[in-house]
Amino acid sequence: MTTSLAAEPFATAPLMSAAELQSPALDPATISIADIRDPALRPIAIKLLARERLSATDGMALFETRDLHSLGMLAGSVRLARHGRNAFYNINRHINYSNICALSCKFCEFHRKRGEEGAYEYSAEKIFEMADQAALAGATELHIVGGLHPWLPFNWYTDLLTHLRRRHPKLHLKCFTAIEIDHFSRIARLSVKEVLIALKQAGLGSMPGGGAEVFDDRVHDEVFKGKLRSDGWLDIHRTAHELGLRTNATILYGHIETRRERIEHLIKLRELQDAAPGFQCIIPLSFVPDGSELAHLPGPTGLEDIKMLAVSRLMLDNFPHVKAFWIMQTMKLSQVSLNFGVDDLDGTVVWYDITKREGGLGNRHQEQTVDNIRRLIVEAGYLPVERDTLYRRVERNPTGWHIA
């Protein structure tokens, strides 16, 4: 497969505005230093009011505090300065096209080998059908990711995007983690840049943030050996940003990593955003042990979830958004997290294969209705705003939707 570099779709305008990248001026009325009980948090509040960047030591103090109220006040203040009382959600559909994967990461319950019980791969026709259903349900986004399929050729993926784009020109295609992009580069014998150009020409709109896990060699070698290392993940997102693609970032926390390693992960993301902006949001993914090789671990507590979301908001001063992916944090905690720095709850999702919790729906059908998402946001005192993948406001009328 060859790719025309002459037709290279380079970014012509800055990908992110200065307002998106800058740490905002806080409203002093939203921070009351006198009310901060933990003395370790007071110098952090002063730094935030002065729009100074937080250090790794500050990050650790935020994790270690028992003064949850003040942590919420600090993260909430940054969130209010950036987004006011807006809380974003989208109408989307996740499509996990196959769980057949060349890797066997210990944290992952999703992966199967071909022929193993539970292994599946959707045909392109099945994916078109799912896209048709999503479009009919009013979705603005398809989030398409899967395992590293050992045999599908690269043109299967470009053809998939080309046909989806033709069939549903309005649906944003947010597809393929950096791990899949690296895999495509190997199977197609193309550079990462050529792969991204080919996918962009086929209809790729942006990249999701998956596959980052924890940017640390110790954790990598113990839990996801064989997977792309942190420098590879970061390089792929850098290349995507340079080509004019916005991307998201994740961190998978609550397994064998330390809090210090999490902070270092966030700092690496912050540094890349300074050097090559293009990240829209951080999605801290709360580890779900069920069914994985790490099922003996307890997984993060609610308190740790809330802290991780708040610390992400405070450390990532150049990231516009913090998303609680309710599939991982649960919808109840995601609602509470709106007071701890979170401004986005992801979306309706519908089907999600990568993690399945026991109990509840207990299967792959994991769906929120728009009415429920809006109800929870309003109850928490925020204004529900439907967004598209690029965080533009979506307006609806009886005949369809458009970007405001």
| Contact between 368 and ligand V47 per CB under 6 A | no
| Contact between 288 and ligand V47 per CB under 6 A | yes
| Contact between 108 and ligand V47 per CB under 6 A | yes
CA gyration radius, the chain:
20
Closer Cβ to ligand V47, 61 or 325, answer by number: 325
Closer Cβ to ligand V47, 252 or 376, answer by number: 252
Stretch 257-286 residues interacting with ligand V47 (CB under 6 A): 283, 285
Torsion-angle region of 402 (φ positive above 0: left; ψ -120 to 50: alpha; else: beta):
beta
Closer Cβ to ligand V47, 273 or 355, answer by number: 355
Closer Cβ to ligand V47, 195 or 285, answer by number: 285
Judged by CB under 6 A, the residue of 20, 109, 182, 257 near ligand V47 is 109
137: CB partners within 8 A, 6+ apart? 91, 93, 348, 350
Alpha-carbon dihedral sign for residues 81, 51, 273, 276? positive
| Contact between 328 and ligand V47 per CB under 6 A | yes
Shortest CA distance to 233 belongs to which of 178, 176, 175, 174? 178
Closer Cβ to ligand V47, 3 or 287, answer by number: 287
Judged by CB under 6 A, the residue of 147, 203, 208, 320 near ligand V47 is 208
Tell me which stretch binds ligand V47 (CB under 6 A): 25-33, 48-56, 207-215, 307-315: 207-215
CA gap 223, 287 in Å, rounded: 12
Closer Cβ to ligand V47, 72 or 209, answer by number: 209
Closer Cβ to ligand V47, 109 or 343, answer by number: 109
Cα→Cα distances 163→23, 89, 168, 177, 198, Å: 40, 27, 8, 20, 14
CA gap 307, 112 in Å, rounded: 33
CA gap 233, 84 in Å, rounded: 32
CA gap 287, 213 in Å, rounded: 10
| Contact between 343 and ligand V47 per CB under 6 A | no
Judged by CB under 6 A, the residue of 146, 147, 203, 209 near ligand V47 is 209
In the block, residue with structure tokens 């924890």: 214
CB 180 within 8 A of CB 144: no
What is the token pair recorded at 181?
């992009």
Closest residue to ligand V47, judged by C-beta, is 210
| Contact between 319 and ligand V47 per CB under 6 A | no
Judged by CB under 6 A, the residue of 345, 354, 376, 394 near ligand V47 is 354
| Contact between 320 and ligand V47 per CB under 6 A | no
Report which secondary-structure segment, H or E, holds 175: strand 172-175
Report which secondary-structure segment, H or E, holds 282: strand 279-286
What mask of x and - would describe binding to ligand V47 in positions 177 to 196, judged by CB under 6 A? x-------------------
Alpha-helical regions (H) of 102-252: 124-136, 154-167, 178-188, 192-202, 217-223, 230-242
| Contact between 130 and ligand V47 per CB under 6 A | no
Closer Cβ to ligand V47, 279 or 382, answer by number: 279
Closer Cβ to ligand V47, 205 or 210, answer by number: 210
Closer Cβ to ligand V47, 45 or 288, answer by number: 288
| Contact between 335 and ligand V47 per CB under 6 A | no
CB 283 within 8 A of CB 248: yes
| Contact between 219 and ligand V47 per CB under 6 A | no
| Contact between 355 and ligand V47 per CB under 6 A | yes
Tell me which stretch binds ligand V47 (CB under 6 A): 7-15, 69-77, 189-197, 203-211: 203-211
In the block, residue with structure tokens 């990461």: 105
How many residues form the binding site for ligand V47 (CB under 6 A)? 22
Alpha-carbon dihedral sign for residues 385, 390, 392, 397? negative
Contact footprint for ligand V47 (CB under 6 A): 107-109, 177, 208-211, 213, 248, 250, 252, 283, 285, 287-288, 292, 325, 328, 346, 354-355
